[in-house]
Amino acid sequence: MAAFLVLSCLTAAVLAGGILWVNKQKSPKRRPISLLFAAAFVTVVCNALAVNVHTEWAASFFYVLYYIAGDWILVLILFLTGVSLKKNRSRTTFLWCSFLCLIDTVFLLSNLKFHQVFHCVESVLPNGRVRYGVQFEITHYAFVLHILLRCVLLFIILLTYIRQMFATIALYRGRYLRIVWSVLAIIVISSLGRIFALPMDITSILYAVLAILCVYFSYFYISRGIVAKVLSLLIEDTQQGIVCFDKDGRCIQLNSAYASLFGERGTKEYFEQYFEEWRRQRGELREEFWREAHEVDGEMHYYDVHFNILQDDKGSFVGSFFSFTDRTESVMEYEQKRYEASHDELTDIYNRKRFFQEVEVKLKEEPEVQRVMVCIDVKDFSVVNSLFGEKTGNQILQRIAGLMRRDASENTIYGRLESDHFAMCMREEDFVEADYAEYLEDLKRIVHSSVYRMHAHVGVYRIIDSSINISVMCDRAFAAIESIKDSYQHIVAYYTEDMGKTEQREKVMIGEFDRALAAGEFQMFLQPQISVGDYRVLGAEALVRWEHPVRGMISPGSFIPVFERSGQITRLDNFMWEMACKQLRVWKDQGIEDLHISVNISPRDFYLVDIYNTFTSLVELYGIDPGNLKLEITETALMEEISKQFSLLEKLRKYGFQVEIDDFGSGYSSLNTLQDIEVDVLKLDMGFLRKTTHGKRSKTIMNAVIEMSKNLGLTVVTEGVETQEQVDYLTWAGCDIFQGYYFSKPIPVKQFEAKYLTNRYAGSV
Ligand code: C2E
Ligand code: CA
Ligand code: CA
């Protein structure tokens, strides 16, 4: 009896502790588990009280509670079975069992009055104390229901776990097997207790133990096998190659990722040897990280390797492992990016940056070797794209790169600096001038045209001082090209000292620009444009002059190209445009509204300013008629991005400006392009017609151009008119306007006004 009480108290304490512990957990099952433990607690406590109270009614009351709680233990185990197995069907079973259990509860409660399930029987213990036991009414249906319910519940619980045992994978079978064994053991022990009529009924304690075991095995029990198996599956599943060794260096685990990372070498034997060797070299083993590369199936693979030792709770060495992370892909990606960043996409040779870097290294490595910097420039390359399309342009560039690649010796570094500029740095003895004539012949095969003449120039700079910037070396090679840039006869030019002086002069000019503009050193000169026939002055072309404080008057031929290269031309042009507008306003205020001024627009301006906005704003600002401002655009400017330029011209003309094509015939415009270009005026230059062709042929061309322009309704201006002969011929040919020294050189505004405002006729030259 005392032992039973101690056992009951212990069990109750374990259950109470269980309830507290479970409630601290965050598990969603903590409610049903607490309820189950609470029911078990009630069972144990009520049973202990029932056998210890001294009145029949109290004994009967505690027995009723004990039986009711016993029922609910089984129902709650059933519920938890359903929860843990997550099966829908078990929900219906659970509801039915709860319903039956509720009826049984009602019968048991009514037993307090009617004693239809059991009644208490008094027995006197040897020590004289009274104890109440129970006598079941085995024939009463209420008792039958009670017993049947218990059997059914136990049976269903058993069945559910047995079924689950077979349904689950082998790894988890042990867990259910343990529950089944627990249920069976409890049924057997409790039956034996009854059969042998033990003095104390320990069913309540058995039920409590059953509740604890079910909860433990269902939710908290994790078998060592499962842990090992899941961990090994986890290792198997990772992308990293993992090899584990026991403390003696035997390979105990090698995942398939490892095998695939190392191809044929991915075997335990191979790696045991590797480890053995590695261990010998290291001496003491400790955690390490490093990177290594291996050739696998003919390809290089790159790995991040991690080695570490494994220790148990007490810190004893139990084994070690290597993990290999394949970073080949990221290495390749990095290499690719590095390659792309240092190579020109189109030609696949070094880009400017990499070329400079490589040359710098080479020059440092071999300072005793005499080298030359050789730069290549395609003549009028921008025209190629417009005339023949980008594809042909690209073909030329790729061909040049191909030729460089084909003939470069291993000591030659070559690259594409930008657009059609290439550079090579080679040993002086490797440079053979004749090669370049051959290259040109090769390139000529790509472009067949009567309009465009394929030509390329090569500039050579002998590297005397290897400490100067590589870009300066290239600039010098290009300065050499500059000296032959208009020639089709020359291919190769060598840099000389005085070219350096030009370079120096250019730098000075660029440096002086801001000051000169602010100080008003740039001036607008006007050259009259005269109507053919009556020699009336119709207007003038605005031409810039630089009144330099030291060098005197400088003509635009020497500074315009410099400012075009430096980008400063746009500010200069803006200044000239504004001067022209101001002048038109002055004349307007004097009542002169039939004189026009033509202004020059540099090809660079199209990239650097919004032409349309600039001109319309100026016209609005000065309140002048746009028809009096003529815009001179060169063919070269039109040739790039033709469609964009055409729509710009259309907008300008719609607004009221007159658009003129300057230097027509000097570039590559064929007569046919005249039909497509929407302009008002065509300016022909006597000068270059004279320069390029002679006599008859020049006149034939002139005649054709003038005739065609007339048919298209264009006004023809001829500039560079110097002789009476030319005036006569042009009058005969149908030219509309003259401009040239024959009438007047470009002159300052004041002089122009004095000469022509009062007398508008220039016939008396
Ligand atoms: P351009 O636009 O073709 O200007 C005509 C050039 O021919 C002027 O040279 C003019 O003085 C010259 N010229 C006129 N009549 C004769 C003649 O009978 N015989 C000869 N031999 N030459 C004659 P300039 O003023 O030296 O200008 C040279 C070039 O500089 C211009 O050629 C133009 O392209 C550029 N330029 C001049 N002023 C400006 C400007 O304000 N802005 C821009 N972007 N370029 C300008
Ligand atoms: Ca002009
Ligand atoms: Ca011109």
Within 8 A by CB and 6+ apart from 421, the residues are: 375, 376, 377, 478
Q: CA of 130: how far to CAs of 9, 121, 134, 197, in Å?
A: 21, 10, 13, 19
Q: Give 664's strand partners.
A: 684
Three-state DSSP class for residue 19: helix
Which pLDDT score, from 0 to 100, does residue 93 have?
Answer: 81
pLDDT tops 90 at residue 95: no
For residue 602, which atom of ligand 1 is closest to its CA? 44
Q: What is the mean pLDDT of residues 596-609?
A: 93
Is the model's pLDDT at 387 over the cut of 70? Answer: yes
Chain CA centroid to CA 418, Å:
25
667 pLDDT more than 60: no
- In sequence order, the β-bridge partners of residue 658 are 630
User: What's the pLDDT at 283?
Assistant: 78
**The pLDDT of residue 499 is above 70:** yes
Q: Which atom of ligand 1 is nearest to the CA of 544?
A: 38
Residue 546 Cα distances to 498, 518, 754, angstroms: 24, 12, 22
Higher pLDDT, 382 or 394: 394
Q: Which of 54-63, 76-85, 465-474, 615-624 has the highest mean pLDDT?
A: 615-624
Write the residue with the smallest CA distance to atom 25 of ligand 1. 543
Q: Name the residue among 414, 412, 410 with its Cα closest to residue 401.
A: 414
Beta-carbon count within 10 A of 368 CB? 4
Nearest to 321 by CA among 385, 377, 244, 246: 244
Ligand nearest to the CA of residue 601, numbered in listed order? 1
What is the 543 CA–ligand 1 centroid distance (Å)? 6
> Which of 664, 686, 719 to probe ligand 1 with, by most ligand atoms within 8 A of CB?
719
pLDDT at 615 exceeding the cut of 70: yes
Supply the DSSP symbol for 264.
G
Assigned token pair, 490? 């020359």
How far CA 335 is from CA of 68, 208, 340, in Å, comes to 76, 68, 8
325 and 304 Cβ atoms separated by less than 8 Å: yes
**pLDDT above 90 (res 170):** no
Taking the C-alpha atoms of residue 599 and residue 636, their distance in angstroms, rounded to an integer, is 16
524 CA closest ligand 1 atom index: 41
Mutate to test the pocket of ligand 1, among 525, 543, 631, 662 (most ligand atoms within 8 A of CB): 543
Residue type, 193: G
Atom of ligand 1 nearest to the CA of 555: 26
From 48-57, 352-361, 639-648, the region with the lowest mean pLDDT: 639-648
Tell me what pLDDT residue 599 has: 98
- Quote the tokens at residue 50: 């029932």
pLDDT for 83 equals: 58
**How buried is residue 327: exposed, middle or buried, by Cβ count under 10 Å (0-12/13-18/19+)?**
middle
- β-partners of residue 640 are none
How many whole angstroms from 564 Cα to the centroid of ligand 1? 15
Query: How far apart, in whole angstroms, are the C-alpha atoms of residue 602 and residue 604?
Result: 5
Whole-number pLDDT of residue 673: 66
Gap from CA of 757 to ligand 1 centroid (Å): 23
Q: Which of 560, 609, 614, 686 to mutate to test the pocket of ligand 1 (most atoms within 8 A of CB)?
A: 560
Minimum-distance ligand to the CA of 606? 1
What are the b/e assignments for 200-212, b being 16+ CB within 10 Å?
bbbbbbbbbbbbb
State what percent of residues in the chain have pLDDT above 70.
95
Of all protein residues, whose CA lies closest to atom 17 belonging to ligand 1? 720
**Which tops the pLDDT comparison, 353 or 671?**
353
CA-CA distance, 91 to 500, in Å (whole number)?
Answer: 97
Q: Is 308 exposed, middle or buried (0-12, 13-18, 19+ CB in 10 A)?
A: middle
**DSSP-derived secondary structure letter, 168:** S
DSSP result, 23-86: HHS--TTHHHHHHHHHHHHHHHHHHHHHTT-SSHHHHHHHHHHHHHHHHHHHHHHHHHHHHHHT
C-alpha 562 to ligand 3 mean position (Å): 18
Which residues partner with 539 through β-bridges?
529, 596
Give, using CA atoms, the residue closest to atom 20 of ligand 1. 720
Q: Which of 96-105, 378-387, 434-443 has the lowest mean pLDDT?
A: 378-387
* Residues contacting ligand 1 via CB (< 6 Å): 527, 543-544, 555-557, 560, 569, 573, 576, 600, 602, 662-663, 687, 719-722, 739-741, 746
Determine how many CB atoms are found less than 10 A away from the CB of residue 554: 17
Whether the CB-CB separation of 451 and 386 falls below 8 Å is answered with no
Q: Phi and psi of 506, rounded to 5°? A: -60, -45
The best mutation among 571, 600, 725 to test binding of ligand 1, ranked by most ligand atoms within 8 Å of the C-beta, falls on 600
Place of tokens 């039939």: 594
Q: How far is the CA of 649 from the centre of ligand 1 (A)?
A: 22
Which domains can be identified in the chain, with CATH numbers?
A: 2-221 (1.20.1070), 235-332 (3.30.450.20), 372-495 (3.30.70.270), 507-754 (3.20.20.450)
User: Which residue blocks in 89-169 are alpha helix, DSSP H?
Assistant: 89-114, 141-167
Query: Given a cut of 90, is residue 576 above it in pLDDT?
Result: yes
| Mean pLDDT, rounded, for 395-400 | 94
Average pLDDT, integer, range 201-219:
85
Average pLDDT over residues 350-369: 93
Q: Is 713 helix (H, G, I), strand (E, B) or coil?
A: coil
What is the Å distance from ligand 2's center to 629 Cα? 13
* Percent of the chain whose predicted confidence (pLDDT) is above 90: 44
User: Per-residue confidence at 660, pLDDT binned at 50, 70, 90?
Assistant: very high
Question: How far away, in angstroms, is 526 Cα from ligand 3 center?
Answer: 14
List phi, psi (to 5°) of 43. -55, -50
Atom of ligand 1 nearest to the CA of 605: 44
How far does residue 24's CA lie from ligand 1's centre (Å)?
Answer: 95
pLDDT at 691: 57
pLDDT in tens, 680-737: 999 998 876 665 545 666 777 788 888 888 888 899 999 999 999 999 999 999 999 9
**Average pLDDT score over the chain:** 87
Ligand 1 atom closest to Cα of residue 663: 3
Atom of ligand 1 nearest to the CA of 564: 44
Look at residue 201 and tell me whether its pLDDT is greater than 80. Answer: no
Quick one: pLDDT at residue 408?
93
Tens-digit pLDDT profile for residues 434-456: 999 999 999 988 887 767 889 99
- The count of residues in the chain is 765
Provide the pLDDT confidence category of residue 331 given band limits of 50, 70 and 90.
confident
**Phi and psi dihedrals of 538, rounded to 5?**
-95, -25
Amino acid at 320: S
Q: Report residue 228 as tokens.
A: 């090992």
pLDDT at residue 328 greater than cutoff 80: yes
- Identify residue 73 by its one-letter amino acid code: I
Q: Which two tokens stand for residue 157?
A: 């619980």
- Which ligand is nearest to the Cα of residue 631, counting in written order? 2
Q: What 3-state DSSP class applies to 665?
A: coil
- Tokens 């440079």, located at residue: 431
Please say whether the beta carbons of 358 and 352 come within 8 A: no
Q: Which residues surround ligand 2, an ion (CB under 5 A)?
A: 600, 632, 662
The closest of 732, 748, 545 to 718, measured between CA atoms, is 732
Q: How far is CA 475 from the centre of its chain?
A: 35
Distance from residue 23's CA to the centre of ligand 2 (Å): 95
Could you tell me the distance, in angstroms and rounded to a whole number, from the CA of residue 720 to the centre of ligand 3? Answer: 8
Q: Choose among 394, 393, 372, 375: nearest CA to 384.
A: 393
How far is 205 from 216, CA to CA, in rounded Å?
A: 16
